[in-house]
Amino acid sequence: MNHLVAPSILAADFANLQRDIELVNNSEGDWFHFDVMDGRFVPNISFGFPLLKAVKKHATKPIDVHLMIVEPEKYIKEFAEGGAYSITVHYEVSPNLHRTVQAIKELGCKACVAINPHTTVSVLEDIVADLDMVLVMSVNPGFGAQKFIQHTYKKLADISALKAKYNPNLLIEVDGGVDNSNAHKLFNAGANVLVAGNSVFSAADPLAAISQLKHA
């Protein structure tokens, strides 16, 4: 399976957003990663439906929507209609997770579940067979430019074991502190998709930074 890179719009230059979208369009990146934060589940607020629709107008690659919000089931229809290719909800705020996953699929999107750094992989055992992707947070969600949590490698190994047992087509995504210093090790540990924000958009040459991650 080819490794995928998903540059995070959260780290883009919002004064030049169309320029940065075109940069990703013309790069070796595979997806746009679109973080939605509500100031409740995580201590920050980002963007919502209007910006997703604006990104969709210019993006030529799939948009990977990551909902870091409480009650995500209330909003998945609007994100699907706004142009999401995949929708990720957090295990920690989804008491009816199977129902939410099925609703995402019925809307024509890939269904994904994220877990925070403190959440054990074992909670995914009863849902992993129904998922298209698991997102492992390798920092505490809410802000960019955080230090990578080393225990992530152990979690990737544990999820890879669930993948082998229940869902061989599962994608495993990592988000937080990803850069060229750890990309190769993350891929070797079982990750398929790397989300990269500051390490791409703050680089002197963002296109080269994306290429290095792609070929790590």
Active site residues: 35, 175
Question: In the chain, how long is the greatest CA-to-CA distance?
Answer: 46
Q: Tokens for 101?
A: 């996953």
State whether the Cα torsion 69-73-79-80 is positive or negative.
Answer: positive
Q: How far, in Å, are 22, 43, 74, 183, 194 from residue 173 at the CA level? A: 23, 22, 24, 12, 6
Q: Would you call 197 helix, strand, or coil by DSSP?
A: coil
CB 137 within 8 A of CB 155: no
Instruction: Mark residue 142 as left, alpha or beta (left: phi above 0; alpha: psi -120 to 50; beta: remaining).
Output: left
